[in-house]
Amino acid sequence: VIFRKSFAGMNLYTVLLFLHSCCRWLVLGGLIYAIYRGLRGGPVFTKTDDRARHITATLAHVQLCIGYILYFNSPLVTYFRAHFHEANFEALFFGLIHISLMTISVVLISVGSSLAKRQEADKAKFLTMTTFYFLALLIIFIAIPWPFSPLAHRPLLRTF
C-alpha cells in the first residue's frame, strides 16, 4: 500500500501540484495568443482565431479542474479549512483568494468564449474575445503565486 500510494516520492498531491504548475504556462500562452489574434482584428474571424478562442477556453477549464482536485488534496488548504480563524496569510491566499479570483477568471473566459462564438459580425467576435480574455488574464496574473508576487511565492516551474 505504501508503495502504491507513494511511488518514488510521488503522491497525488505532488503530481497535481506539478501539473497545475505546468498548465499555468499553457493557459497564459493561450490567453496571450488569443488576445494577440484579437488585437490584430482580422478583418475575418478565421478558423485559426476560432481555434485560439476554443483551445484557450479548454486549457482554462482543465486548469480549473486540476485546481479544484488540488484544493481538496492540499495539506495547506486542509490546514486552512481546519483553522481559518488563526490561519496565516499564505493559507488564506490558497484557501480563499487564489480559488476565488481564478474561478472568476475562468468564468470570464467561458462567458467570453461562448459570447464571441455566438456573435454575428466578425468585428464583434474579436472585440468580445479580446475584452473578456484580457480581463481574465489580468486577474490570473494577479492571482498567480509568482516568485515576485507580494501575495504568495511559488516557483516558476515546480521541480520540487
Site residues for ligand HEM per CB under 6 A: 17, 20-21, 24, 27, 60, 63-64, 67-68, 70-71, 74, 76-77, 94, 98-99, 102-103, 105-106, 140, 144-145, 154-155, 158
How far apart are CB 88 and ligand HEM at their closest, in Å? Answer: 13
* Residues 6 or more apart whose Cβ sits within 8 Å of residue 92: 80, 84
How far apart are CB 21 and ligand HEM at their closest, in Å? Answer: 4
Checking 116-119 for CB contacts under 8 A at 24+ apart, the result is: 116/53, 117/50, 117/53
By beta carbon distance, the residue nearest ligand HEM is: 67
Kind and range of the H or E run holding 92: helix 89-92
How far apart are CB 122 and ligand HEM at their closest, in Å? Answer: 27
> Phi, psi (5° rounding) for residue 41?
65, 35
- Could you give the CA distance from residue 3 to residue 77 in angstroms, rounded to a whole number? 25
Angle between helix 122-143 and helix 47-71 axes, rounded to 10 deg = 30
How far apart are CB 110 and ligand HEM at their closest, in Å? Answer: 12
Q: What angle do CA 104, 156, 20 make, to 5 degrees?
A: 50
Residue (46 or 114) nearer to ligand HEM, CB: 114
How far apart are CB 44 and ligand HEM at their closest, in Å? Answer: 29
Residue (94 or 132) nearer to ligand HEM, CB: 94
Half-sphere exposure of 10 (CA within 13 A, CB side): 9
